[in-house]
Structure 1
Amino acid sequence: MSQTRQLSRDEIKTLPLFPALGPAQITVVDRAALPGALAALRAARVAGFDTESRPTFRKGEEATGPHLIQLATSDHAYLFPVSDAEVLAALGALLASGELLVVGFDLRSDKRHLRDRFGIECKALLDVGSLFQSDSPTITVGAVQAVARVFGQYFRKSKKQSTSNWGAKVLSEAQQVYAANDAWVALRIYQALRPAP
């Protein structure tokens, strides 16, 4: 596949499906799981990254997200609900340390929301979309387009899950899979495109 040509939505849908992480490769991080999750992320040194926010549907309703922070290693994804202050503080310290490079797509709003809502300053961020050349400088490359260009596969994203309640106390399995793969796919693209040492 071409890494510069913008593929149409119809063209992308004809590609074979991108093989995603399954439920067994996902951990929703609570206090018991926190030490293991942080150790795995530190060992990985690079992690896929994304956030999810409960959508607003009423005019004038103030957004309160993000409600979930996702990080993924090569074989596992960790979902951090922001409702647990102890979990959030430990994750914030890791992100602020600069020892973990986090890679994702279109990170400007994620970075701003983490700073404004939680005071978390992410020290080592890389927007994976910036690794692509495009037909036009006005075109940004997101996860679906990137997977099509790099792997020749279709990364199917569920609109139903993207607009679901990310502030729920218990996330459904479908929400977990959606959120985990949003972070994981960014890491997979980074791994495919990063320059050789």
Structure 2
Amino acid sequence: MSAPAVSRDDLAAELPLYPGLPLAQITLVLTEADLAAAGQSLLAADAIGFDSESKPTFRKGEVSTGPHLIQLATDDHAWLFPVSNAAAHPLLRSVLEAPGLLKVGFGLGNDRSVLKARLGITPQNLLDLGETLRGPAHHGTVGAKVAVAHFFGQRLQKSKKTGTSNWAARQLSERQLLYAANDAHVALLLYRAWLKTRQPGG
């Protein structure tokens, strides 16, 4: 009798949980002091993780007004920018349009288009890991969960309920902060891990 088929989800369930960034290393950028600290940190980096979140649409024909939150992460900190805070837009433009600063994430095609449409920002120097990691022999894109299992031997837990929550809310929950921050941060860590495999002896 042949052994029962084991799915990718079954294998992933046996992996240890990916820890992610704690709240202490996440800043929701609301004040001038937050902006100054974020700018100093992000613009000094060689590469940052990048993602955005939008309030979901539920009615047929409803047009999204997102993005409502933009996440940028260095190796040890994540900065979350509510798009409703217009004071942050100049810094977001400076960071996202900086040609010498690599922005890394998953599924960035939509982020590129909505940022241009909503904020007039044209991101430069983007690396979409979902496309980069799949290789020439694979169809479709690689997701963060598969990449975390492959590079770190860990299970990335992503709550669908949190992912489809109201990102335009005036106050974001701790779950939302952790979800959003780690979407951007894990992309940067995966990029660093992928780079090591491309180096001699890696």
- TM-score norm. by structure 1 comes to 0.91
Q: Give the fraction of aligned pairs with identical amino acids, expressed as a percent.
A: 52
Q: Give the number of equivalent residue pairs.
A: 191
Question: What is the alpha-carbon distance in structure 1 between the residues aligned to residue 57 and residue 161 of structure 2?
Answer: 14
Pick closer, same or farther for the CA change 1:111–1:183 going to 2, 3 Å.
Answer: same
- Any idea what the Cα deviations from partners look like across 1:161-184, whole Å, max 9, x if unmatched? 101000001111110000000000
Structure 1 unaligned segments of length 5 or more: list them: 1-6
Corresponding residue for residue 142 of structure 1: 143
Corresponding residue for residue 69 of structure 2: 68
Once the two structures are TM-superposed, the CA of residue 89 in structure 1 deviates from its matched residue by 2.3
Question: What is the alpha-carbon distance in structure 1 between the residues aligned to residue 136 and residue 11 of structure 2?
Answer: 17
Corresponding residue for residue 95 of structure 2: 94
Corresponding residue for residue 129 of structure 2: 128
Residue identity matched to 1:156: Q
Q: Secondary structure at the match of 2:127?
A: strand
Question: What is the alpha-carbon distance in structure 1 between the residues aligned to residue 161 and residue 18 of structure 2?
Answer: 19
Question: What is the alpha-carbon distance in structure 2 between the residues aligned to residue 97 and residue 48 of structure 1?
Answer: 14
Once the two structures are TM-superposed, the CA of residue 25 in structure 1 deviates from its matched residue by 0.6
Structure 2 unaligned segments of length 5 or more: list them: 1-6
Question: What is the alpha-carbon distance in structure 2 between the residues aligned to residue 133 and residue 108 of structure 1?
Answer: 16
Pick closer, same or farther for the CA change 1:191–1:119 going to 2, 3 Å.
Answer: same
Once the two structures are TM-superposed, the CA of residue 100 in structure 1 deviates from its matched residue by 1.9
Which one is further off, 129-138 or 158-167?
A: 129-138
Q: Secondary structure at the match of 2:150?
A: helix
Corresponding residue for residue 118 of structure 1: 119
Once the two structures are TM-superposed, the CA of residue 158 in structure 1 deviates from its matched residue by 0.6
Contact kept in structure 2, 1:42 and 1:99, CA below 8 Å: no
Once the two structures are TM-superposed, the CA of residue 124 in structure 1 deviates from its matched residue by 1.1
Structure index of larger Rg: 2
Contact kept in structure 1, 2:134 and 2:141, CA below 8 Å: no
Corresponding residue for residue 185 of structure 1: 186
Corresponding residue for residue 9 of structure 1: 9
Corresponding residue for residue 4 of structure 1: none
Which one is further off, 176-185 or 27-36?
A: 27-36
Question: What is the alpha-carbon distance in structure 2 between the residues aligned to residue 99 and residue 66 of structure 1?
Answer: 24
Question: What is the alpha-carbon distance in structure 1 between the residues aligned to residue 111 and residue 9 of structure 2?
Answer: 25
Q: Secondary structure at the match of 1:24?
A: helix
Corresponding residue for residue 103 of structure 1: 104
Corresponding residue for residue 3 of structure 2: none
- TM-score norm. by structure 2 comes to 0.89
Question: What is the alpha-carbon distance in structure 1 between the residues aligned to residue 112 and residue 150 of structure 2?
Answer: 26
Question: What is the alpha-carbon distance in structure 2 between the residues aligned to residue 37 and residue 94 of structure 1?
Answer: 10
Contact kept in structure 2, 1:71 and 1:77, CA below 8 Å: yes
Which one is further off, 177-186 or 14-23?
A: 14-23
Corresponding residue for residue 3 of structure 1: none
Once the two structures are TM-superposed, the CA of residue 139 in structure 1 deviates from its matched residue by 2.8
Contact kept in structure 2, 1:29 and 1:81, CA below 8 Å: yes
Are residues 1:29 and 2:29 paired?
A: yes
Contact kept in structure 2, 1:143 and 1:186, CA below 8 Å: yes
Pick closer, same or farther for the CA change 1:14–1:64 going to 2, 3 Å.
Answer: same
- Taking the TM superposition and a 5 Å limit, the aligned residue runs for 1:43-62 are 43-62=44-63
- Any idea what the Cα deviations from partners look like across 1:72-105, whole Å, max 9, x if unmatched? 1111100011001120222112211223211001
Q: CA RMSD in A?
A: 1.7
